[in-house]
Structures are given as C-alpha cells and as structure tokens.
Amino acid sequence: MKHRLAGPAIAPAPLDKGLSTVQLVDNYFLAYNAARLREACQLWARRMAAPEVTVGLTLTGALTPAGLGPSCLVPLVRRGLVDFIVSTGANLYHDAHFALGLSLHRSSPFADDTALREKGLVRIYDIVMDYTVLLKTDSFFREMMQAPEFQRPLGSAEFHYLAGKYLAERQRILGGGDASLLAACFDMEVPVYAASPGDSSIGMNAAALALEGSAFAWDVNRDVNETAGLVLMAKRGGGKTGVAILGGGAPKNFMLQTEPHIQEVLGIDEKGHDYFLQITDARPDTGGLSGATPSEAVSWGKVDPEGLPGTVVCYTDSTIALPIITSYLTEAVGSREPKRLYARRDEALELLRKEAKS
C-alpha cells in the first residue's frame, strides 16, 4: 500500500534471545502506547540528547522509593543526559534513605494496613519500610538544616545542592555505592528544584525548625526566576530546550511555566520549549494539568508550535517506561558533555533580569 499517511508495514520477526533494548524497542514496539514509548525513546536519543539541547526532567509519583534513583535517574545524570530537575519534595526525601543506608522492602498492595501499623511498618503501595526509617531521615535533615550555611533564605536548588553534599559524604562513609540522586546531582552540578518545597517531609522538618527560631526559609521567587533564566540562557546561547515529564502535577507545571513567565509576565520575546516528552496515566478530558496535551501547552506559549512534531505523550506507568528509556539512551547515546548548570544560575538570573528591563 502506497499512501502518504501509511508508514512501514507491521511485519516483525519472531522474538528471539539476545536482543538489545534498542532492537526490542525499535523493531517490536509497533503500535498503541508501545509505539508512543518507542517514539519517546527515539525523540530523546535522536533530538533531545543533542549537545545544544538543555534537558529539564520532572519527577512525580513515588519513583525513588521504587529504586528508580540508583537504577535510572543516577545513570541519566551521570551520563550528562539531564541538565536540571524539578521534583516533588517526597521523591527527594525518600532518595535520602538510600544514601543513609536505610532499607525499603518489596511487599504487597493487598497487605493488611492495620497489621502493618501495629508492627511499625509504613506502606507505599507495594513497598514497605520501618517507621524508624522516617524518624532517622527526619533527624538527618533537621541536624543538617541547623548547620551555619542553612541559616538564611535559600532557593531550593541551593538547598538540594548542599543536601547532596552531605548525602554524598554519608554515602561515602557507609560505602553504599552510587545510590542517591541528590548526591549525584551535587557531583554533576545538576540543579534540583522542588515545585512545592513545603509539601514534603523535608518541608515539614524545615517548618518544625522555624518554630524554634531557625533563620532558614525557602526562596520560592528565586526558584521561579532561576528556572526561567536557565531556559532563556539556553535559547539565547543558540540552543534549544526539551522537557521530559514523568507523571504530571506541580513539577510539570513548574517546568512548563518557565516559558509563560518569560513571555507573558516578563514580556520577553520567546516561543516556547522545543521538545516535549511526557509519560503519564492521566487523561486530558478531566481538565487536570497532568493530562494536558502538548498542543494545549502551545496555547499558553509553553511549547513552540513549530515543535509539535517533536512532542510525544505515552500513556503508561513511569516505573515501566523509565527503565526502558534509560536502557535505550545508555545504548543509543551513551553519554554527552554535562552542562553543569548549577554554577551558572546567577548568570541565568542576571540575563533574565537584564532582558526583563529592556
């Protein structure tokens, strides 16, 4: 059949042993959301992984408790494939367990929660941990936040950079390997932002210290300006920007609002992100942001309309998609030169300030 709307024939060979991830995805993920996952892998590998593209990654849902930090996120950061991150605070709090040598365990989603409570166990769907894991992690963050470098307002990127330094040292002492995302981001100078820093156990511990007179406070205005500045700096440097969104929620909006902040609020001439990749299980018809499509984002200026061919939405679970994407990128791309944007945050902020005044 010859038609401009028809692609290659669906005629896969029988599956056999010894296939690489790239062979499996490219040759056997042929239709439905398997095809969208193939397109997501190829978009990131062939376009977003280009040296001139600044890649922002968002994390929503309990990904780090499921072990996706050391297995997937740390390798992506170490290989220079992620340039900055916007996460829920919960993912960063649970990431700390791994650096602190505190264990989480596989369980069942059908466990008796009353019995778990009586035994001092906490459940995240089919993951359980001892209640003391929370108490020990709380204690770590409270002790850390009383150090002199925290006695002032901080943007969440600086807070997580300092936390990554402490976690990297704790990880080194305990000999726990390369297990912590925040520790890896500290080492690779990848800025990590929390979209809602008060909405997590880290935020609760900060609030508890405020009751005792701590001078620490979240500088959320800096976060908004800083992330927009990183995007603007990439564009003004002749590059492009791509967003990889795992889930949705506040991190998705925080990542995408960089462009409306640049265009709508600050009045700076810009077009939107060039590439958009989302893994989600949310539907668009309920009106929630988590399910909002890239074409809807165009209407807000979040995505460049000319970039719509470079957008993919795959409707599946991030815990399924992320290991496949990571394995695909490791094989197809390997590594690229890290941008180390943490050290350039003030430069990005100054550029934003300068263009907002012009």
Q: Which residues are within 8 A (CB) of 16 and not within 5 positions of it... i.e. 6 or more apart?
A: none
In angstroms, the Cα distances linking 309 to 7, 165, 276 are: 16, 40, 9
Residue 231 φ/ψ, nearest 5 degrees: -65, -45
Say how far apart CA 294 and CA 177 lie, in whole Å.
38
Cβ atoms 324, 25 nearer than 8 A:
yes
Q: What angle do CA 225, 163, 273 make, to 5 degrees?
A: 35
Residues comprising the chain, all counted:
358
302 among known catalytic residues: yes
Using CB atoms within 10 Å of the CB of residue 112, give its burial: 0 to 12 exposed, 13 to 18 middle, 19+ buried: exposed
Cα separation, 180 vs 106, in Å, equals 19
- The bridge status of strand 105-106 relative to strand 127-130 is antiparallel
User: What is the helix (H) or strand (E) element at residue 258, kind and residue range?
Assistant: helix 258-260
Catalytic residue among 235, 240, 302, 339: 302
Question: Could you tell me which residues come within 8 angstroms of residue 153 by beta carbon, excluding any fewer than 6 positions away?
Answer: 216, 217, 218, 219
CA dihedral 294, 297, 302, 304 (to 10 degrees): 60
Both tokens of 262, joined, read 């640049």
CB 274 within 8 A of CB 86: no
Catalytic residues: 302
